[in-house]
Structure 1
Amino acid sequence: MRNLILPSICAVSLIFSIPNRGDAQSDLKLWYLEPAQAWTAALPIGNGRLGAMVFDGTAEDRYQLNEDSLWCGGPHDYARDGAAQYLPQIRRLLFEGKQKEAEQLAMAHFMSVPLGQMPYQPFGDLRLTFPGHDKVEAYRRELDLDTAIVTTTYRVNGVTYTRQAFASHPDQVIVVRLQCDEAGALDFTATLTSPNQDVQTQAVAADTLAIRGRARDYKARGDYGVVPGAVRFEGRCRVIVRGGKATVEDRQITVTGANAATLVLALATSVKDYQDLSADPAARCAEVLKRAADKTPRQIREAHVADHQALFRRVSLDLGGTWRGRPALASRGHPGLAFRAE
């Protein structure tokens, strides 16, 4: 026990004895020089309820979306009839050291029906397509841990394009901000997709695209059969443009000739609690977007950063100086840069 307690005390003392250096905040960035090709290489944003993995592509960008209450299947009784009568036998086998026999008896007559809980499900994808952005220069993507904002920059034909994404806890939305340094040079389409069932997309307002559907059925192990998907969900994406034009159809949002654009996403399900699925996800999304519409994109961003930093900046840990220009990952062209000693 002493061997465990002493290192723990030392570690806690170290963390709280380090001064909070304001200049260290600029070093808290994970940056990369190419888009993510796999989910594990994408950069995460989240607010505790909503989340996204940001792939930061150029010709096509993907935001894999999550909402914390979207599970397949639905509420049901896990109890197995007559299970209690087998408990004394299972205990006896365990006390006799017959672990395997106890497990076999429990699996056959004692465990829940169906065996295992319903799996968590992805909400869907927001995909952005940019015509003519197949070949780019000066590409960089980064996650700033101090602001919880993902930023992507690159150049196409001399025009610099910038995208920022974050998940706001105060406003309960995911925000994607797009801009360029040449007037009218921003063109893209945005679509919403989902791997779940009964999925439909629809323009619900002149500036808003919605996606709705139902979580997938759960095929239980053994002979139990299928637990029907009961959780309904809806997501809404509102587009705000500066300059140019935005049109919303039942399948996509199209932005042409813009200076900048902001996408504000609300996600919701029908889950009220573990056994009540009577909530209206459409009404929930509409209410969230209505509240967010009372703020400018800048105000939403500022509220997000302030909320995040109130928690993130409570403690800092300095493990020594590192050149901030060093890549976070080794690359094929320069495999040693990420590991080279100072």
Structure 2
Amino acid sequence: MKLKLKKYVFCSLIAILGIQTVSSQSSHVLKLWYDEPAEIWNEALPLGNGRLGAMVFGDPAIERLQLNEETIWAGSPNSIAHDKALKALPKVRQLIFDGKYAEAQAMATSDIRSQTNNGMPYQTFGSVYVSFPGHQNYTNYYRDLDIENATAKVKYTLNGIEYTREILTAFSDDVIVVKLSANKPGAITCNVFMNSPFDKTKTTTEDNEVTLSGVTSTVEGQKGRVKFQGRMAARHVGGEISVKNGIISIDKANEVTLYISIATNFKNYKDITEDYVAKSKSFLDKAIDKNFETIKKAHVDYYQKFFNRVSLNLGTTAVSKATTDVRIQKFDSQFDPELASLYFQFGRYLLISCSQPGGQPANLQGIWNDMLFPPWESKYTMNINAEMNYWYQQN
């Protein structure tokens, strides 16, 4: 009798307060998902393993994977510190305390600000494109970012065939891996190639592998000396493959796995003498004999050691069945508690994916940047931004 009364009172409160009922979130997977491809970079889905980053666009006809490596920076090792700055700092502080802001600004500019350059911009590697002839008139489109497993997927139907792409940036094997499959044998036909926005790059074809090499930009008189190389190869089941003129061509395969590595000559902040060609080849050689499922299992196991430390269940409502972009647009007018928990977990996902032990800290855009000269140069701003990246993710 008491239990029934409590239930009645609780239901009455819901009706009076206008609160919508929620169900358990335990069976709901944490995914950002959409029913159309990305049209611009900000709509693409981010993957990362701390060192490598990828933005997945998901266009059925021409897939674009925009790629980054955490040490591709313009310029070369240098210090912007100088002797006058430390002596001027207490004077500038006192001028500020005294309300003499113009004088403080003038002294900060002349005596504290760098006398050489303002720091170097973080730069993109470029993109890998996968072109599928005749894949424009598709139906049943779906793409997602699964933040429980750190993987992305694209699915669509064309001429009665369901095509699937699975993409990940492998934590354990340190390469980008793409699996192309279909529910009908012999359906995978595509061309794969790389490009980069740098003025001078070199593309080669060797031992059934395609490479793209370059050197970063010179900025504010600081010569670009960070050298990089991307390297890719493919393994296929059924059909035929040819590699020439910087293009991997697949014809009527049942399944294809693409392996992509990137390396630079960066050793540490003052030493850029690493053999980047040997390093890019080593990453690829170690991964290419493993199938996609083996790499994926190791990747997910590693990632979940971090991600599974924290769970947040605010419940779910019927509106969670909509695509992520629609849910965001309507968040101010509908009750969607699960979107709040998804947002929280997405923040954790991003930091895990762009900052790993032994690597570089997250810069202003993590490791995701499609430009040579991005906003605020995508560098480290130590007044507050770098710290805030990590305050949020203490767990």
Same fold (TM > 0.5): yes
Identity within the alignment, %: 37
1:67 aligns with 2:63: no
1:326 counterpart (318, 322, 327): 322
Secondary structure at the aligned position of 2:290 is classed as coil
Q: Deviations over 1:265-291 (max 9, x none)?
A: 111111101111101111111111121
Give, in whole Å, the separation in 2 of the partners of 1:270 and 1:204: 21
1:292 aligns with 2:287: yes
1:308 aligns with 2:303: yes
1:281 aligns with 2:276: yes
1:233 — aligned with what?
228
2:214 — aligned with what?
213
Give, in whole Å, the separation in 2 of the partners of 1:285 and 1:60: 25
Preserved contact between residue 48 and residue 169 of structure 2 (Cα < 8 Å): yes
How far off is 1:336 after superposition?
A: 6.4
Q: Evaluate the alpha carbon distance shift between residue 339 and residue 87 of structure 1 in structure 2; reply closer, same or farther with a 3 A threshold.
A: closer
How far off is 1:329 after superposition?
A: 1.7
1:16 — aligned with what?
none
How far off is 1:322 after superposition?
A: 2.8
Preserved contact between residue 330 and residue 339 of structure 1 (Cα < 8 Å): no
- Superposed CA RMSD in Å reads 2.3
Q: Deviations over 1:187-244 (max 9, x none)?
A: 11111111124211111222x11110001111x3xxxxx2111100001111111111
2:171 — aligned with what?
169
1:255 — aligned with what?
250
Secondary structure at the aligned position of 1:316 is classed as coil
How far off is 1:98 after superposition?
A: 1.1
Return the letter of the residue paired with 2:176.
I
Which ranges in structure 2 are unaligned for 5 or more consecutive residues? 1-23, 337-395
2:9 — aligned with what?
none
1:12 — aligned with what?
none
How far off is 1:99 after superposition?
A: 2.0
Secondary structure at the aligned position of 1:287 is classed as helix
Counting only pairs closer than 5 Å after superposition, residues 80-229 of structure 1 correspond to structure 2 as: 80=82, 86=88, 89-206=91-208, 208-218=209-219, 220=220, 226-229=221-224
Give, in whole Å, the separation in 2 of the partners of 1:259 and 1:80: 61
The structure showing larger relative contact order (alpha-carbon pairs under 8 Å, at least 6 residues apart) is 2
Preserved contact between residue 201 and residue 212 of structure 1 (Cα < 8 Å): yes
Secondary structure at the aligned position of 2:143 is classed as strand
Secondary structure at the aligned position of 1:329 is classed as helix
Instruction: Count residues with an aligned counterpart.
Output: 311
How far off is 1:50 after superposition?
A: 0.6
Return the letter of the residue paired with 1:311.
F
Give, in whole Å, the separation in 2 of the partners of 1:338 and 1:297: 41
Return the letter of the residue paired with 1:278.
T
Preserved contact between residue 29 and residue 148 of structure 2 (Cα < 8 Å): no
Secondary structure at the aligned position of 1:237 is classed as strand
Q: Evaluate the alpha carbon distance shift between residue 109 and residue 44 of structure 1 in structure 2; reply closer, same or farther with a 3 A threshold.
A: same
Q: Evaluate the alpha carbon distance shift between residue 338 and residue 146 of structure 1 in structure 2; reply closer, same or farther with a 3 A threshold.
A: farther
How far off is 1:91 after superposition?
A: 4.9
Preserved contact between residue 162 and residue 180 of structure 1 (Cα < 8 Å): yes
Give, in whole Å, the separation in 2 of the partners of 1:261 and 1:24: 34
Return the letter of the residue paired with 2:167.
A
Which ranges in structure 1 are unaligned for 5 or more consecutive residues? 1-20, 221-225
Give, in whole Å, the separation in 1 of the partners of 2:294 and 2:275: 28
1:8 — aligned with what?
none
Give, in whole Å, the separation in 1 of the partners of 2:300 and 2:29: 17
How far off is 1:293 after superposition?
A: 2.8
Q: Evaluate the alpha carbon distance shift between residue 108 and residue 306 of structure 1 in structure 2; reply closer, same or farther with a 3 A threshold.
A: same
How far off is 1:341 after superposition?
A: 5.2
Secondary structure at the aligned position of 1:74 is classed as coil
How far off is 1:77 after superposition?
A: 3.4
2:393 — aligned with what?
none
Give, in whole Å, the separation in 2 of the partners of 1:338 and 1:61: 33
How far off is 1:102 after superposition?
A: 1.4
Preserved contact between residue 240 and residue 250 of structure 2 (Cα < 8 Å): yes
2:40 — aligned with what?
38
Preserved contact between residue 80 and residue 119 of structure 2 (Cα < 8 Å): no
Give, in whole Å, the separation in 2 of the partners of 1:137 and 1:87: 63
How far off is 1:170 after superposition?
A: 0.6
Structure showing the higher strand proportion among its residues: 1
Preserved contact between residue 154 and residue 160 of structure 1 (Cα < 8 Å): yes
Preserved contact between residue 317 and residue 335 of structure 2 (Cα < 8 Å): no
Secondary structure at the aligned position of 2:272 is classed as coil
Return the letter of the residue paired with 2:174.
Q
Preserved contact between residue 197 and residue 215 of structure 1 (Cα < 8 Å): no
Return the letter of the residue paired with 1:211.
L
How far off is 1:88 after superposition?
A: 6.3
2:267 — aligned with what?
272
Q: Choose 30-39 or 115-124, whichever is displaced more.
A: 115-124
